Amino acid sequence: MNVPTAHRFDSRDPGTIHDFLTNAYGTGMTIRATERYRFRHHRVDAGPFWLETVEQSTRLEVDVGRVNALVVVQVVNGRVDRACAGTAGRFGPGDVFLAAAPGLPYSVRWWPGKITCCLLDLSVLARVAGGPDRPGTVKFTGLAPVSSALARLWRHTTSYLNHVVLGNPHAYRQPLVIANAARMLAASALAVFPNTSTAWPTATQRRDATTATLRRATAFIEEHADRDIGAADIAAAAQVSLRALQLAFRRHLDTTPMAHLRRVRLDRAHRDLLSADPRQATVSAIASRWGFLSHSRFTARYHATYGFPPSRTLHT
């Protein structure tokens, strides 16, 4: 897995800007400007997701074709009007919105200003929202956040990933860290924007939430804790739906599948700290190896579990 890479673009030439954008997003695009303008684009490509900052200096009208990703936009300054499939919205500083339902074209009218964008691979959404009986069926039923509180959740999530994960070379070089960051974005998007993944469990799903399901799931977690796995993978291994898996963990362990996976990974990190050479290893590197995004959060969780900081374990 490649480490995240940064790409910058800065131009005042309309033709160059058009060519760059159509190549960058892999779709057709029409751009109309009221005057000559400057366009700046910065992207951090982390593989399953991209985080971008885009800034321009005039009023633009842009028609965008289908983008094969979930595109979440936050307005930093200026104003953006967006239209998609008969749904229109006007957004100002601090507002968060979906550019479009995945697979649909959209149009924007963008006044001079700056936005940030997150583009998330749709396969990550399918893995987080789906399961063996519902692969990739999630659909977004609205393009605005469910509430202002959830819009804040999205802003905090992307800020956290920018500063704590992508700003830490020890973290972003670890495949599990990037995979967990992508799942965090997917889970946040599913919480923030209305969609079809929140149906009540069925009678079959309740019947499947058995101790046998739990045993299959925990055995899979133990065997594959060092790999990029999520709740949908665990459900597939346990041969039940994602909702049945969640019910089994809640009913029998009073936790969630991903919380149990984090606990197993914490134990593996603990073992690595015990066996590591403190002259060569660091707490941060071991935490990142096991997918923990934040050194400070790992330290707090470790201390709460074992009663002392991880640095003591490493140097004992």
pLDDT category, 207, cuts 50, 70, 90? confident
Rounded to an integer, what is the distance from CA 109 to the centroid of its chain? 27
Residue 265 has pLDDT above 70, yes or no: yes
Token duo for residue 108: 């924007």
The pairing of strands 60-64 and 49-56 is: unpaired
Mean pLDDT (the chain) is 91
3-state DSSP assignment of residue 55: strand
pLDDT tens per residue across span 103-127 = 899 999 999 999 999 999 998 988 8
Residue 251 has, within 13 A of its CA and on its CB side, a CA count of 16
Residue 30 has pLDDT above 90, yes or no: yes
**At which residue do the structure tokens 């898996």 appear?**
245
The ranges assigned to domains in the chain are 5-129, 262-314
What average pLDDT does range 225-233 have in this prediction?
90
* pTM across the whole model: 0.80
Q: How far apart are CA 309 and CA 103, in angstroms?
A: 47
pLDDT category, 279, cuts 50, 70, 90? very high
Residue 232 has pLDDT above 90, yes or no: no
Q: Which residues pair with 32 in a beta bridge?
A: 61
Q: Residues near 114 by Cβ (< 8 Å), separated by ≥ 6?
A: 53, 54, 55, 76, 77, 78
Q: How far apart are CA 30 and CA 32, in angstroms?
A: 7
pLDDT of 135 reads 42
pLDDT of 196 reads 81
The strand ranges marked E within the chain are 5-11, 29-33, 39-45, 49-56, 60-64, 70-77, 80-84, 87-91, 96-98, 106-110, 113-120
**At which residue do the structure tokens 């790992």 appear?**
298
Rounded to an integer, what is the distance from CA 226 to the centroid of its chain? 19
Q: How far apart are CA 2 and CA 168, in angstroms?
A: 15
pLDDT tens per residue across span 39-64 = 999 999 999 999 999 999 999 999 99
Per-residue burial over 124-147, b = 16 or more CB atoms within 10 Å of its CB, e = otherwise: bbbbbbbbbbbeeebebeebbbee
What average pLDDT does range 23-28 have in this prediction?
95
Q: What are the angstrom distances between the C-alpha of 255 and each of 98, 223, 258, 314?
A: 31, 19, 9, 29
pLDDT of 134 reads 47
What average pLDDT does range 260-289 have in this prediction?
95
What average pLDDT does range 72-85 have in this prediction?
97
Under the phi-then-psi rule, with left for phi > 0, alpha for psi from -120 to 50, and beta for the rest, what region is 120?
beta
Residue pair 46/166 in contact (Cβ under 8 Å)? The answer is: yes
Q: How far apart are CA 4 and CA 206, in angstroms?
A: 41
Q: Residues near 156 by Cβ (< 8 Å), separated by ≥ 6?
A: none
Q: Which of 65, 7, 54, 8 is nearest to 31 (CA)?
A: 65
**At which residue do the structure tokens 């974005």 appear?**
185
pLDDT of 198 reads 62
Residue 2 has pLDDT above 80, yes or no: no
What average pLDDT does range 175-193 have in this prediction?
91
Third-level CATH fold of 5-129:
Jelly Rolls (2.60.120)
Residue pair 93/119 in contact (Cβ under 8 Å)? The answer is: no
pLDDT of 130 reads 66
Residue 199 has pLDDT above 80, yes or no: no
pLDDT tens per residue across span 124-161 = 988 887 644 444 568 899 999 999 989 999 999 999 89
pLDDT tens per residue across span 284-312 = 999 999 999 888 889 999 999 999 999 99
